[in-house]
Each structure stands twice: as C-alpha cells, then as structure tokens.
C-alpha cells in the first residue's frame, strides 16, 4: 500500500503533467491558474486511497479518473466564484477578478470537458459504471448549486432542505470519488454502496465544517473573508440551526439581521447571536456525528482492518482542519 504522502505526490505530479500538456490552448493560463493555486486535492486522494484498500498498485486506469474528479471540482469552483461574486479563493484572486467573467466561464467550460476526457480513461470494462456514477454526481452538483442560489432568496429553509442541498452540492462528488476507486478496484456492489454512503456522510461533515470555518476560521489560513456566507445570505448549517433554536428577542433580531443589507452590522450581529445560543458547539457536535457515520461505513468494508487504517486516519485529519 502507498502512504498518504505518496498518493498526494502522485496527484500533484498528475496535475503538473496535465498543465504541461495543455500549453497549446489559448485558455492555458486561466486553466493552469485554476489547477495550481492549491487545495487539498481531496477527491482524487480519496479515490486513490479507496482503490488502494483493495489493490497495491495505482495504474493509469485509476489515476486518470481520479484526476478527472479534481478537474471537475475545480470547474465548479471557477463558476461558483462567478455566481457568488467571490474575489478571493485560497488567498488568491479568483479567475474572474484576475481576468474577466467571460474568461472564467470559458475556462470553467474547458475544465468540465477535460474532466470527462480523463474520467473516460479508466479500464474499458469499468467505463459504463464509472461514467454512470460520475454523470449522476455532476448532475447533482449542478442541482445543489441551483438550490444554494435559490435559498439565498428565502428567509428560512428547513434542515431537510439544507441536507438535500449539501448532499448534492458537496456530498455527491465526494461519494463519487470513493465509488470510482471501488469500481476500478472491482469491488462488489454491496461494498461500493458502503463507500458511497461513507462519501455522502463525509461530504456532509465537510460542508458543515466549511460553514463553520466561514464564521470561526482564521481568515489568513482559511483563504476567504470571514462571514462571506453571511454577506451572501447563504443558508448554512449554522444559520438553519440558529433559526430553529433562537427564541424571543434573539430570534427577532436574527430575522432582522438576515434581511439587512448592511454587512457591517449583519456579520458581527449574526455571529454574536450564534455565540449566545451555542451554534459553535452544536456545529462541532454535528461534524463529529457525521465523522462517526463516515468511519462506520468504512469499517463495514470487507478487507483486512489494517488496509482501512490509512483512509480512516486521513479522513479524521481532514475534519480537524482550520482551512
């Protein structure tokens, strides 16, 4: 089996090779910029680590689809930043700020097409199953982003609506990464389902943590302005919890702040209510619960326990992050 550092190294080198091979395109610079500004490379690493639970090698037939997942994820970030009017991503200007909106849209489109090119380079026998789960995940991600934007115009959403949104926007591609690794490793359908469940739970944990870091993260480390979700009226886990939990004057004030357009009052005011009613602690508890579900599903996979350790440790470390 390979170590986490080795797998991350394979992903890094694959990204560099892709950038070099794309040099003949007029969109080379923004595509290179999108792929090279950092990030955890979570989805390809999860794909390869899942595969590595079953197989000791990492052939191109799994490396290429793993890279395809990373490319697709970056495509969604480029377009999300345009829709969210975000100026910064990973402490760097977003593509539409560094170039312009049209270039961001076109480079995002190019990344989407590249993702399919790399996803299709799996073992031919696995191609129908790999494309089936990828197509579903890609559709779900788009649906989740649309729900996210729709909910910006609503004062309140239910917990069920929030969970449906994040299962699509975040959970679907993470689940796809683990499914893809298992499919390429010729795992049986029951095992693939377990890993799909694990991926959805991990996606939920990851999104709640992302919501949490928007308020309680260190801006210098997180790479985005603190309170940006509040400014954009994002229906985060923190806000949906607060709207369900706050009472009396706190609830009235929260509803008033959600409607205000003065972010200089809105952000500190909403955070003050969060602190008062225990939103921070509730979010931490929710993240821990989703982590338990993630690890329980992996524990159910029928391989030797020692082959699960690296993946489980990697996931635990992911969810004790500050960026």
User: Does the pLDDT of residue 221 top 70, yes or no?
Assistant: no
- Phi, psi angles (nearest 5°) of residue 283: -65, -40
Residue range 25-56, pLDDT digits in tens: 889 999 999 999 878 899 999 999 999 999 99
State residue 90's pLDDT score: 82
Q: What angle in degrees, to the nearest 10, is found between the helix axes of 189-216 and 237-245?
A: 70
Q: What are 69's two structure tokens?
A: 């997942």
CATH ID of 4-318, from 1.10.600.10, 3.40.50.2000, 3.20.20.370, 1.10.10.10 = 1.10.600.10
Q: What are 87's two structure tokens?
A: 């100026």
Q: What element of type H or E holds 62?
A: helix 60-84
What would the mean pLDDT of 76-85 be, rounded to a whole number? 94
Residue 224 C-beta-side C-alpha neighbours within 13 Å: 23
Alpha-carbon gap, residue 283 to 14, rounded angstroms: 36
Share of the chain above pLDDT 90, in %: 85
* For the chain, domain boundaries: 4-318
User: Does the pLDDT of residue 114 top 80, yes or no?
Assistant: yes
DSSP, res 93 = E
CA dihedral 16, 57, 65, 81 (to 10 degrees): -50
DSSP, res 261 = -
State residue 219's pLDDT score: 66
User: Does the pLDDT of residue 170 top 90, yes or no?
Assistant: yes
Alpha-carbon gap, residue 102 to 86, rounded angstroms: 15
Alpha-carbon gap, residue 262 to 15, rounded angstroms: 41
Residue 22 confidence class, pLDDT cut points 50, 70, 90: confident
C-alpha angle 185-188-194 in degrees, rounded to nearest 5: 95
CA dihedral 5, 11, 12, 18 (to 10 degrees): 170
State residue 88's pLDDT score: 86
Q: What element of type H or E holds 189?
A: helix 189-216
Closest CA to 221 of 101, 312, 99, 323: 323
State residue 89's pLDDT score: 86
Q: What is the pTM of this model?
A: 0.93
Residue 82 confidence class, pLDDT cut points 50, 70, 90: very high
User: Does the pLDDT of residue 223 top 60, yes or no?
Assistant: no
What would the mean pLDDT of 155-161 be, rounded to a whole number? 89
User: Does the pLDDT of residue 108 top 90, yes or no?
Assistant: yes
User: Does the pLDDT of residue 75 top 90, yes or no?
Assistant: yes
């Amino acid at each position: 089996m390979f170590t986490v550092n080795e797998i991350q190294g394979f992903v890094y080198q694959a990204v560099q090779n892709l950038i070099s091979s794309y040099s003949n395109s007029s969109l080379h610079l923004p595509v290179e910029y999108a792929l090279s500004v950092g990030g955890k490379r979570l989805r390809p690493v999860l794909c390869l680590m899942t595969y590595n639970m079953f197989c000791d090698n990492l052939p191109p037939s799994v490396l290429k689809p793993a890279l395809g997942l990373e490319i697709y994820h970056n495509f969604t970030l480029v377009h999300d930043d345009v829709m969210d009017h975000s100026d910064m991503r990973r402490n760097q200007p977003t593509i539409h700020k560094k170039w312009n909106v049209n270039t961001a849209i076109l480079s995002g489109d190019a990344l989407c097409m590249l993702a399919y090119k790399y996803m299709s380079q799996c073992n031919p026998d696995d191609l129908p199953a790999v494309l089936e789960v990828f197509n579903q995940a890609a559709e779900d991600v788009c649906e989740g982003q649309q729900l996210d934007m729709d909910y910006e115009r609503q004062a309140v959403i239910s917990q069920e609506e929030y969970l449906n949104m994040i299962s699509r926007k975040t959970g679907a591609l993470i689940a796809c990464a683990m499914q893809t690794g298992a499919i390429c490793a010729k795992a049986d359908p029951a095992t693939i389902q377990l890993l799909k469940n694990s991926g959805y739970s991990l996606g939920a944990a990851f999104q709640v943590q992302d919501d949490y870091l928007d308020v309680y993260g260190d801006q210098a480390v997180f790479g985005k302005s603190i309170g940006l979700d509040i400014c954009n009226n994002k229906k985060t886990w923190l806000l949906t919890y607060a709207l369900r939990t706050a009472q009396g004057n706190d609830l009235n004030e929260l509803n008033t702040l959600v409607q205000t357009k003065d972010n200089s009052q809105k952000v500190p005011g909403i955070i003050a209510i969060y602190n008062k009613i225990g939103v921070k602690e509730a979010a931490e508890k929710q993240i821990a619960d989703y982590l338990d579900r993630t690890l329980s599903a992996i524990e159910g996979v029928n391989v030797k326990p020692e082959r699960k350790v690296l993946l489980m440790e990697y996931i635990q470390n992911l969810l004790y992050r500050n960026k």
